[in-house]
Amino acid sequence: MGRAGRLHLARIDGQAAGALVVGDAMPYVPPATEPELYVNLLVTSRAFAGRGVGARLLDRAREIARERGVRQLRVDCYRGDDRALVRYYESQGFTATDTFAVGEWPGQLLVERLRSG
């Protein structure tokens, strides 16, 4: 099993607003062709919707990737229904690449190429 990531929490007014875990890619996605950091978990509380919690946590993932010297960040999400999650990640700078399925669950892999600095 790959390297487990550390849990990063976002708090607003002392309440948990979201969580991020980064580490190695999930086994159900195509392997990376270069060193990367993978977003294993990104969740936000609906109580703080519209406050940029997910965007701030993704910024933290980018910081961690740069600290580790990698220039690729990948994430996967649910691709079905209205593709809302795919569109969210695209709005955050990711580009949809491969599709996959885990059983009947349709997934989308997305990648972001990070700039230096």
31-80 pLDDT tens trace:
999 999 999 999 999 999 999 999 999 999 999 999 999 999 999 999 98
| Residue 73 located in a structural domain | yes
pLDDT at 53: 97
Q: What CATH number is associated with residue 40?
A: 3.40.630.30
Give every CB contact of residue 67 below 8 A, 6+ residues apart in sequence: none
Task: Copy the structure tokens of residue 39.
Answer: 């977003």
| Residue 1 located in a structural domain | no
Assess whether pLDDT exceeds 80 at residue 2: no
| Residue 35 located in a structural domain | yes
- Provide the mean pLDDT of the chain: 93
pLDDT at 93: 97
Evaluate if pTM is beyond 0.75: yes
SS3 4: coil
| Residue 69 located in a structural domain | yes
| Residue 2 located in a structural domain | no
Domain residue limits at 27: 7-113
- As for how many domains the chain has, the answer is 1
Assess whether pLDDT exceeds 70 at residue 117: no
| Residue 83 located in a structural domain | yes
d(CA 35, CA 50): 32
Where does the pLDDT of residue 30 fall: very low under 50, low under 70, confident under 90, or very high at 90 and above? very high
